[in-house]
Amino acid sequence: MKVRLTVGALALVIALASGVASAAARASHPHPRRPPVHYYLALGDSLSVGYQPNHAGVGVETNQGYANDLYTTIRHKVKDLRLVKLGCPGETTTSMLTGKGNAASARHYHCDRRGGSQLRAAEAFLRAHRARGEVALVTLDIGANDVDGCAADASQGIAAVEGCVSKGITSIETNTPKILAGLRRAAGPGTTLAAMNLYDPVLADELSTDSSQQQLGALSVSLVKSINTAIAKADRAHGFRTADVAAAFSTYNMTPESTAGTPLAATGMSSVPTDVADICGLTWMCAPPPVGPNIHANATGYRLIAGAFRAVLPKRL
């Protein structure tokens, strides 16, 4: 018995055969999957968002902060790496932990406090991206604002400053381990965690003509060393690498260096300690009003902070 196919039926057979062939081809040669997205999560206070004063002395967030600089140096090593900033100017260890005590900055700047605090927002982000290495890097700077206002107590005497700093160190010692532990728990496998210690903006007071300010500038080094000891201890206990920003800014180096040919020559001093020269060159502390004095790093200082972080990262980053 002969089977006769009409033109329409023949076309249908050919179409079905082509569909089967195409499906087989797709199965044997699937479309390439898009490479996975990876993240660098920057957390902390104003330094983490590149805060700098503008020409009028108003603080603004910039793309010249250490997080931006560090991102630029590592993005070629991690495919499809994206920078996410959750930091908040004015943040203390207390406000990062609880979301309380920094309301003015949170209203003025782009502070992410979903869940009630920066820590909660960071933990939520990390839990949402827990695949191995999906968050390649987390960096943190926190603690400076716990003691930032202490220099204002200098008019009441050095003892008042020391008492204020002691209270700030207690906050750092109490809160920082909780912050680090929360981030450690939320982070997925393969995430590198790094935090920085602090440079010392109060060193610029050694250039003051006021003897009490000079005394405060000289005393500040030992106080910052105590703060950085507390930070390093917390970092070690919770698996964070410590970027030695204090060393990068020569914070403990009191070797005299000549001011000849530098802006510091205008002070009338023939030489100043290296740590004082560096704090003037790497921050806005010695800039004339209205821009300075301002504790934040300038673009050069931020690049140096990024370098301190880069020095402690694994080779894959």
Q: pLDDT per residue over 165-198, tens digit each?
A: 899 999 999 999 999 999 999 999 999 999 999 9
Residue corresponding to tokens 């106080």: 223
* Residue 294 in domain: yes
pLDDT digits (tens, 9 = 90+) for 21-67: 555 545 555 555 666 899 999 999 999 999 999 999 999 999 999 99
Q: Are 221 and 199 in contact (CB under 8 A)?
A: no
Instruction: Report H helices in the chain.
Output: 7-28, 66-74, 93-98, 103-108, 118-128, 144-147, 158-186, 211-237, 245-248, 274-282, 299-310
Q: Which domain holds residue 110?
A: 33-310
HSE toward the beta carbon, residue 19, CA cutoff 13 A: 6
CATH number of 273's domain? 3.40.50.1110
Sign of CA dihedral 139, 46, 173, 224: positive
What is the pLDDT at residue 36?
Answer: 82
What is the pLDDT at residue 32?
Answer: 54
HEC secondary structure over 68-105: HHHHHHHCCCCCCEEEEECCCCCCCHHHHHHCCCCHHH
Q: Are 102 and 95 in contact (CB under 8 A)?
A: yes
Q: Are 287 and 54 in contact (CB under 8 A)?
A: no
What is the pLDDT at residue 153?
Answer: 67
- Ranking 43-57, 154-168, 275-289, 300-314 by mean pLDDT, the lowest is 154-168
* Residue 287 in domain: yes
Give the pLDDT mean for 290-298. Answer: 96
* Residue 28 in domain: no
* Residue 315 in domain: no
What is the pLDDT at residue 150?
Answer: 85
Q: For the chain, what is the mean pLDDT?
A: 89
What is the pLDDT at residue 143?
Answer: 96
Q: Is 54 left (phi over 0), alpha (psi -120 to 50) or beta?
A: beta
Beta bridge partners of 257: 272
Share of the chain above pLDDT 90, in %: 72
Q: Is 99 left (phi over 0), alpha (psi -120 to 50) or beta?
A: left
The two tokens of residue 56 are 């009028």
DSSP per-residue codes, 223-269: HHHHHHHHHHHHHHHTT-EEE-HHHHTTTT---EEE-TTSGGGGGT-
* Residue 27 in domain: no
* Residue 17 in domain: no
Q: Is the pLDDT of residue 116 over 80?
A: yes
Residue corresponding to tokens 């009409």: 6
Confidence of residue 251 (pLDDT cuts 50, 70, 90): very high
* Residue 8 in domain: no
The domain tally of the chain equals 1
Confidence of residue 20 (pLDDT cuts 50, 70, 90): very low
Angstrom distance (rounded) from CA 206 to CA 263: 15
* Residue 1 in domain: no
- Amino acid letter for position 226: S
